[in-house]
Amino acid sequence: MAIYSQILANGLMLGALYACLAVGFSLVWGVLNVINMLHGSFIILGGYLTYFAWHSWGIHPVVMLPVVGAFMFALGYALQKTVINRVVSAPVLTTLTLTFGLDMILYNVMTYWFTATPRRVQLDLGSVSLGPVTLPVDRLVGTGLALVLTLMLYLVMRGSNIGRAIVAVRMDRSAAELMGIRTERIYAITFGIGALMAGVAGVVFASVFPITTNVTGTYLGKAFVVCVVGGLGSVPGALVGGLVLGLVESLAGHWFGPQQAITAGFVLMLVILLTRPTGLVGVRGYE
Amino acid sequence: MKSGPLAYALLAAGLLVLASTPLWADNYVVRTAAIVAMYGALATSWNFIGGFTGYPSFSTAAFFGLGCYVGAICQRAGVPMMLAWLVATLMVGAFACLLGAIILRLRGHYFAIGSIAVVEVCRLVVSSWSSLTGGGDGLNLPLLTWAPEQVMRFFLFVMLGILVLSLIATALVDRARLGFGLRCIHQNEDAAAMVGINTTLYKVAAYTLSAVFCAAAGAAYASWTGYIDPTESFQILMTVKVPVMAMLGGAGTLAGPFLGAAAFVLLEEVFWANFLDWNRAILGVVIVLLVFFLPGGLLSLARKAKAKAGSGGPA
């Protein structure tokens, strides 16, 4: 039983990180109807900024959170405003291809500047034991941060004017326009928030896992799975999807070996796609 | 979609140039020609599901990679090379048929994500099934014992053969009920179903057609390079590159995908040769420019030029 409580704890910690990683991707897909292939690289960019600030100037990752967040928001806002907005209502083939092209550029720039060597912020916080369960403190703090950040996005979406405008555009673009919402601006803000969430997820990840440009695709894949499993475009959806994926990966890793954990995630996604395309907590007609 | 005489002329000229490279050029050029033919075949295959039917399929690399592996495993078991290619083609075709019946129920973004996931699942299964596939270490294939120029020439003609077969299949589908039905599905799937088109059957047929030539090309590629591994065989980059090639030439046309593949491979060669550190970014820029300024592909330029010249003629 002890082994299972450890697996459960690992799965939940991983799941919270996945939720934070995917929530921005989910929002962009839900509101803009764009599959943002840049998301994985955004996460790694946030991670690199954190790592180099820590490595070169000794700035603590927690201090970097707002800095990276602001930078990534600006980057995302500008990209949407100048580039992606021009094709935002085109079919998925076009928007996906465009963001893939942009991703190739960003990937190349990052590999050139930072090289692909795996890097990690070493905080050496030790670990705590709760009965039979051992929890590394850096991971625990990362989990907490991921949950807080996700919750903050939820509050912004529910409580602020911008959040309500985003939800309105998601429900019905033309009606929102008639109500005086400037949809182009909302699109840019949404994409900015998507990039921001990817960036802060990167800050958390850099303190927990080694980061390298080679894993952008892996993180993008996680975002796909979380989004489809939980349901599109909502914070609770991403949270449920993330936790489910974290648990499934931990269990599958234990039963079938670590190599099978990722496969289990994708298989779960394909099954959900075919049986419940709205996701576990998605609303019908809202996909 | 009507292909004008210009498109046919370009197509014929392109095939002739590729086929004649052994007569006038060195091994590097012949190799590039074989790569052009291979990507031409992949893009022409993608055209069945992506161009005719309008489904954003990103599973090309899955079919190519499975083709590599089925071919390699057969050859290692002693099956003659050509027969191994045929087995790979048939098996992957059957796989695509079954898979299509499942994932073609999805539409739009969900189909796109599902088809990318197929590539990832295939790669993961192949890399963890070590007893059969050699896992991450990959597989070695028996090499041909001919002179290097002969090997190169042989595989150029093999790839050209697959390309020509895929073009013939395109031309046949284009004229048949199937092509008409697929274009109806592209325009409005619900309406197509309403007027009596068996949309599921048609889509599965298009998906299977998009797989068989990829599998053949993959199996031939495995024999050509003599070594395959999971990361090389199942590349997400390839799975997006191939639709980009088709769009670059003109999706939904007969000659477009091949011409786009030729243009793309040549660009890629130039960038690899001259900007080693930045070739990926430059290709990214090419893709972005393509999406913005040439959404109809290179052939649409020719069509526009013609419409301008012959005023009043059908555009």
Q: Give tens-digit pLDDT for B104-135.
A: 988 888 898 889 889 988 998 898 888 888 88
- Which of A220, A225, A270 to mutate against chain B (most B CBs within 10 Å)? A270
Model pLDDT, residue A287: 38
CB A259 to CB B124 under 8 A?
A: yes
Q: Which residue of B has its CA nearest to A91?
A: B108
Q: Name beta bridge partners: B227.
A: B140
Mean per-residue pLDDT over chain B, rounded: 88
- Round to whole Å and give the CA distance between B3 and A212: 46
Average pLDDT over residues B85-105: 93
Domain that holds residue B45: 23-236
Alpha-carbon distance of B26 to B21, in angstroms, equals 8
Cα B70 to Cα B179: distance, rounded to the nearest angstrom: 30
Output the 3-class SS for chain A. Answer: CHHHHHHHHHHHHHHHHHHHHHHHHHHHHHHHCCCCCCHHHHHHHHHHHHHHHHHHHCCCHHHHHHHHHHHHHHHHHHHHHHCHHHHCCCCHHHHHHHHHHHHHHHHHHHHHHHCCCCECCCCCCCEEEECCEEEEHHHHHHHHHHHHHHHHHHHHHHHCHHHHHHHHHHHCHHHHHHCCCCHHHHHHHHHHHHHHHHHHHHHHHHCCCCECHHHHHHHHHHHHHHHHHHCCCCHHHHHHHHHHHHHHHHHHHHHHCCHHHHHHHHHHHHHHHHHCCCCCCCCCCCC
Q: Is residue B252, in this structure, part of any structural domain at all? A: no
The token pair at A143 is: 């989990």
**Between residues B50 and A287, the one the model is more confident about:** B50
List of chain B residues whose C-beta atoms are within 8 Å of the C-beta of residue A92: 56, 108-109, 112
Taking residues B284-312, report their average pLDDT: 79
Q: Of A211, A248, A201, A226, whose CA–CA distance to A17 is shortest?
A: A201
Strand partners, B228: B139
Residue B158: both structure tokens together? 């093999």
List the single residue in B114, B280, B291 with the smallest CB-CB distance to A107.
Answer: B280
The residues pairing with A128 across neighbouring beta strands, listed in sequence order, are: A135
Averaged pLDDT for residues B287-304? 82
Q: Looking at the domain assignment, is residue B210 inside a domain?
A: yes
Give residue for tokens 């006038």: B24
Query: B140 forms bridges with which residues in the sheet?
Result: B227
Model confidence, pTM: 0.88
Position A135 scores a pLDDT of 81
Stated as kind and residue range, the H or E segment containing B228 is strand B227-228
B140 three-class SS: strand
Q: How far is the C-alpha of B181 from the C-alpha of B53, rounded, in Å?
A: 9
Residue ranges per domain, chain A?
A: 7-215
Q: Where are the beta strands (DSSP E) in B134-200?
A: 139-140
At a CB cut-off of 8 Å and minimum separation 6, what does B146 contact?
B154
Of A30, A38, A14, A35, the C-alpha closest to A279 is: A30
Please give the tally of structural domains in chain B. Answer: 1
Q: Are B79 and B87 in contact (CB under 8 A)?
A: yes
Q: How far, in Å, CA of B243 to CA of B223, rounded?
A: 25
**ipTM score of the complex?**
0.83
* Residues lower than pLDDT 70 in chain A: 282-287
**Is the model's pLDDT at B3 over the cut of 70?**
no
How many CB atoms are closer than 10 A to CB A161? 8
Instruction: With respect to residue B257, please indicate whether it lies within any of the assigned structural domains.
Output: no
Q: Say whether A108 and B240 touch across the interface (CB within 8 A).
A: no
The answer to whether the Cβ–Cβ distance between A35 and B286 falls below 8 Å is: no
Does a structural domain hold residue B204? yes
Of the partner residues A107, A108, A263, the one whose CB lies closest to the CB of residue B125: A263
Q: How far apart are the first and last CA of chain B?
A: 12
Q: How far B287 CA sits from the closest chain A CA (Å)? A: 5
| Contact residues on chain B for A224, CB-CB shorter than 8 A | 113, 116-117
State the number of CA atoms in the 13 A half-sphere of B11 facing the CB. Answer: 23
Token pair 């234990």 is found at A254
**Cα B103 from Cα B204, distance rounded (Å):** 10
Distance CA B171, CA B257 (A): 13
CB within 8 Å: A104 and B284: yes
pLDDT of residue B310: 62
Q: What is the DSSP letter of B158?
A: H
Q: Which helix (H) or strand (E) holds B227?
A: strand B227-228
In this prediction, residue A79 carries a pLDDT of 92
CA-based nearest distance B56→chain A, Å = 5
**Residues in chain A, overall count:** 287
What pLDDT was estimated at residue A62? 85
Nearest in space to A47 (alpha carbons), one of A212, A202, A196, A194: A202
Which of B59, B104, B248, B288 to probe the A interface (max A CBs under 10 A)? B288
Task: Show residues of chain A in contact with B123, CB under 8 Å.
Answer: none
Does the residue B307 lie in any domain?
A: no
Q: At B313, is the pLDDT very low, low, confident or very high (cuts 50, 70, 90)?
A: very low
* Neighbouring-strand partners of residue B139: B228
Tell me the three state secondary structure of residue B278.
Answer: coil
Per-residue buried b or exposed e for A234-259, using 16+ beta carbons within 10 Å of the residue's own CB: bbbbbbbbbbbbbbbbbbbbbeeeee
pLDDT on residue A235: 86
Using 50, 70 and 90 to split pLDDT, how confident is the model at B144? Answer: confident
